[in-house]
């Protein structure tokens, strides 16, 4: 998707560095990158290295001349004004030594100072009202009351605690919060700290946009604001620096990848790490908007914590966190069970989207069954879940699906577990 002019960061627009001073990272690191890249490519040119390492021709040429003076490069010819060259025997040996320390040979990193400036400059500023928020949530059935709670929370860009019974759309609501952002951000491929390289841009979690601006430093990638969702798989190691022993490259923790976006912790309280451990880990970042990370050998450094953290849980908040932590989460929003009108609207949307035929009064019949056997609440997930079961029943019996009372009854019986009294 091409980025329009209003998607370009208005405040942060780094120019292309033409010298080591402008680059902001150690010269030795740049030389190591060239050596490792040449070792991989075998035969290369200034233009090829400039493209691979996302560096200007001026910087690559300066590094090339340094390596050539050290007799680490052998020139094999020229194509136009561009040198064609390989590593010398001494160059191959040095490159091999450097490769043992780190195998990183991609885009040159940016400095921690420049990264910090970028994150602060690109902090989200949301303008939203009930109308625009309803548009963002248009594929969900939400009440005005809920929108009027979400709106101020999104404008504040502080943390949000969504809680309430399961199946009422907490995760769906959290994931759609990203739609209120109308801009994009620049994310570096990697960050340098103490001569170590931290890989940051991740195509799995970052959605790249095309940036047609030859004046922007190519070490940065234009992306949509990130949204990272984690559930029960979250462990403490995901929130700390991780060194790949085989490559010598650090991987950025999840909260660093989520900077300038949203970090959703789904099913909070059911992670492999305890709620207390997570809350203790983040009590300072949530309060001061900075986080502290460490390299393997003990060097500590500070990064911005410029993201909106959304906790989603069906557990009682007071059972998960103490008052000191809950105080730092300014927005606590209860996602309540759906009312009759909302349930029927969800039912209508589901059968319309699935192009299903339904008997007259099917929604009312389903409601009655969902509230039978002592159940007291209607949940937003029921229509979709029941329809999915009916589709499976129809496929099993090799007939067209229809929401008849008989099939609704069969699906409901499959869906709800029997209470202990019914098992006696």
At residue 49, the pLDDT reads 96
At residue 385, the pLDDT reads 96
Residue with tokens 């007291």: 376
Q: For the chain, give the percent of residues with pLDDT over 90.
A: 80
* CB-based contact 296:102 (threshold 8 Å): no
Domain segments of the chain: what residues?
26-108, 117-334, 340-423
At residue 1, the pLDDT reads 38
Q: What digits encode the pLDDT tens for the residues 52-94?
A: 999 999 999 999 999 999 999 999 999 988 999 999 999 999 9
Where does the pLDDT of residue 10 fall: very low under 50, low under 70, confident under 90, or very high at 90 and above? low
At residue 2, the pLDDT reads 39
Question: 322: buried, middle or exposed (CB in 10 Å: 19+, 13-18, 0-12)?
Answer: exposed
CATH of 26-108, one of 1.10.10.10, 1.10.10.2120, 1.10.3720.10, 3.30.360.10: 1.10.10.10
At residue 9, the pLDDT reads 54
The angle at the Cα of 210, spanning 306 to 115, to the nearest 5 degrees, equals 30
Mean pLDDT of 19-37: 95
* CB-based contact 205:226 (threshold 8 Å): yes
Question: If residue 412 lies in a helix (H) or strand (E), which one and from where to where?
Answer: helix 405-415
Mean pLDDT of 226-237: 90
CA separation, residue 398 to residues 109, 342, 392, 410, 414 (Å): 58, 32, 10, 16, 19
Q: What digits encode the pLDDT tens for the residues 254-293?
A: 999 999 999 999 988 888 888 888 888 888 898 899 999 9
**Nearest C-alpha neighbor of 172 from the set 234, 415, 164, 255:** 164
At residue 273, the pLDDT reads 83
At residue 18, the pLDDT reads 96
Mean pLDDT of 18-44: 95
Rounded to a whole number of angstroms, the distance between the first and last alpha carbons of the chain is 60
What are the start-end ranges of the H helices in 14-81?
Answer: 20-23, 27-41, 46-53, 57-69
* CB-based contact 95:35 (threshold 8 Å): yes
* CB-based contact 252:112 (threshold 8 Å): no
Q: What digits encode the pLDDT tens for the residues 325-376?
A: 788 788 999 999 999 999 999 999 999 999 999 999 999 999 999 999 889 9
**Nearest C-alpha neighbor of 88 from the set 105, 104, 76:** 76
Domain 117-334 superfamily per CATH: P-loop containing nucleotide triphosphate hydrolases (3.40.50.300)
CA distance 56 to 191: 18
At residue 190, does pLDDT exceed 90? yes
CA distance 389 to 310: 31
Q: Which fold has domain 340-423?
A: Helicase, Ruva Protein; domain 3 (1.10.8)
At residue 244, the pLDDT reads 94
What are the start-end ranges of the H helices in 109-169?
Answer: 112-121, 130-136, 144-156
At residue 210, does pLDDT exceed 60? yes
At residue 58, the pLDDT reads 96
At residue 4, the pLDDT reads 43
CA distance 134 to 374: 34
**Starting from the edge strand earliest in sequence, which strands make up the sheet with 262-265, in order?**
227-230, 262-265, 308-313, 160-163, 331-334
> To the nearest whole number, what is the mean pLDDT of the chain?
91
Q: What digits encode the pLDDT tens for the residues 364-417?
A: 999 999 999 889 999 999 999 999 999 999 999 999 999 999 999 999 999 998
Q: Which residues lie closer than 8 Å to 404 by C-beta, 6 or more apart?
A: 359, 362
Where does the pLDDT of residue 424 fall: very low under 50, low under 70, confident under 90, or very high at 90 and above? very low
At residue 106, does pLDDT exceed 90? yes
């Amino acid at each position: 998707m091409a980025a329009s002019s209003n998607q370009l960061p208005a405040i942060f627009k780094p120019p292309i560095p033409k010298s080591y001073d402008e680059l902001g990272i150690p010269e030795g690191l740049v030389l190591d990158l060239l050596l490792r890249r040449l070792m991989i490519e075998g035969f290369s040119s200034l233009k090829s290295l400039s493209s691979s390492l996302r560096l200007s021709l001026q910087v690559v040429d300066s590094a090339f001349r340094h390596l050539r003076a050290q007799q680490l490069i052998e020139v094999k010819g020229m194509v136009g004004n561009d040198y064609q060259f390989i590593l010398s025997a001494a160059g191959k040996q040095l490159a091999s030594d450097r490769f043992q320390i780190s195998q990183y040979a991609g885009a040159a990193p940016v400095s921690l100072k420049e990264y910090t400036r970028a994150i602060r400059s690109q902090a989200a500023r949301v303008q939203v009202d009930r109308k625009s928020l309803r548009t963002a949530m248009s594929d969900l059935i939400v009440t005005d009351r809920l929108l009027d709670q979400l709106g101020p929370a999104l404008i504040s860009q502080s943390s949000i605690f969504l809680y309430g019974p399961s199946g009422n759309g907490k995760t769906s609501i959290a994931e759609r919060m990203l739609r209120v952002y109308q801009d994009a951000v620049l994310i570096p491929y990697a960050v340098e700290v103490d001569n170590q390289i931290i890989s940051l841009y991740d195509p799995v979690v970052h959605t790249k946009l095309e940036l047609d601006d030859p004046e922007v430093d190519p070490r940065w990638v234009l992306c949509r604001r990130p949204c990272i969702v984690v559930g029960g798989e979250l462990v403490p190691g995901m929130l700390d620096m991780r060194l790949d022993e085989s490559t010598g490259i650090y991987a950025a923790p999840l909260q660093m990848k989520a900077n300038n976006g949203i970090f959703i912790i789904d099913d909070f309280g059911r992670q492999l790490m305890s709620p207390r451990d997570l809350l203790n880990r983040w009590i300072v970042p949530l309060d001061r908007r900075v986080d502290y990370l460490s390299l393997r050998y003990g060097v500590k450094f500070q990064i911005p914590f410029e993201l909106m953290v959304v906790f989603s849980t069906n557990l009682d908040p007071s059972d998960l966190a103490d008052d000191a932590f809950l105080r730092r989460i300014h927005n606590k929003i209860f996602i309540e069970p759906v009312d009759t009108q909302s349930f029927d609207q969800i039912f209508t949307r589901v059968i319309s989207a699935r192009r299903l035929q339904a008997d007259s009064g099917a929604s009312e019949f389903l409601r009655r069954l969902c509230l039978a056997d002592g159940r007291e609440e209607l949940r937003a997930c029921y229509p979709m879940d029941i329809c999915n079961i009916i589709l499976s029943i129809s496929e099993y019996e090799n007939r067209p699906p229809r929401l008849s009372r008989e099939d609704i009854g069969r699906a409901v019986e499959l869906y709800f577990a029997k209470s202990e009294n019914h098992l006696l």
